[in-house]
Structure 1
């Protein structure tokens, strides 16, 4: 016959407590980047978010990369890219090679932005969606300069 001592009960209680603590501290990720990192909407909720749909075969897209890299360094803004061909078949590893090739420093999505923010499939690239509080507030279907991005950031930083 097995007996459960006070010491056994305390071990069991400690193990259960630790398990609950570990599970409670794990956060579900809302979406993932092409490098495998996860992200939560709550981490981006107070920021102006630029979602840039780009392609390696698009010269204006490539010209925008340094501007998006620069604006992504600022406070209260995040830039997230998505390669247009990922809508069909481009893999994460292929995207990551292109990111390295073009010196892109902002993260790129693994998950389809249509599923995350309910955006439409763009008809052309580059297309940039500006998001605040998890809502699309503007769609831009022309190439952007650093000045354009700074002006958009200034106008939407106080937008609620």
Structure 2
């Protein structure tokens, strides 16, 4: 009886460890402030994912537009996320986002695999992901808040 109890306890311990580890991967990494970005914050929302770099002049011009768009969409089921094209991490990422004036969440880890985003060699590039996690559009070049709002409305009507 003792060995059966030990085996049962071992199985429960392994299952618990597996569940714990699975829940740890339930995030999309950290943001520019080093804070964990839980997947729950993104689920069921439309995502506007913008790739940018400090050396990209159109990126610098479009950041205020993305900030305005993010603020306008705050309570409308839309989340704006940034991704640094050069893969900056930690303090470097935090300093770059501050220097660029970025007010929306910037992911330290590239979410392209999670959302099956095609790689772009040109910047800026913005992807629109629907509330079910499906890629709906890839926008090349500098975007405006008004243009993003109009495109989002078109896509929502077509869903």
Which TM class, normalised by the smaller chain length? 0.7 to 0.9
Structure 1 unaligned segments of length 5 or more: list them: 1-19
**TM-score for the superposition, normalised by structure 1:** 0.74
1:76, 1:157 within 8 Å by CA — same for their partners in 2? no
- Equivalent residue, structure 2, for 1:96: 94
Q: Do the aligned partners of residues 158 and 30 (structure 1) sit closer, same or farther apart at CA in structure 2, a change above 3 Å counting?
A: farther
Separation in 2 of the partners of 1:38 and 1:125?
Answer: 26
Contact 2:28-2:111 within 8 A present in 1 as well: no
Question: Comparing 148-157 with 91-100, which one deviates more in the overlay?
Answer: 148-157
SS at match of 2:138: strand
Counterpart check, 1:84 vs 2:60: no
Q: Could you tell me which residue of structure 1 aligns to residue 152 of structure 2? A: 153
Determine whether 1:31 maps to 2:28. yes
Query: RMSD value over aligned CA atoms?
Result: 2.3
CA radius of gyration, larger in: 1
Aligned residues: 135
Q: Aligned partners of 1:148 and 1:43: how far apart in 2?
A: 25
Q: Distance in 1 between matches of 2:49 and 2:101?
A: 17
> How far does residue 77 in structure 1 lie from its aligned partner after superposition?
1.1
Q: Do the aligned residues in 1 keep the contact of 2:48 with 2:80 (CA within 8 Å)?
A: yes
Q: Could you tell me whether the CA contact under 8 Å between 1:71 and 1:77 is conserved in 2?
A: no
How far apart, CA to CA, are the structure 1 residues paired with 2:156 and 2:45?
A: 7
CA drift of 1:46 comes to: 2.9
Deviation at 1:157, TM superposition (A): 3.7
- Contact 1:77 1:153 survives alignment (8 Å): no
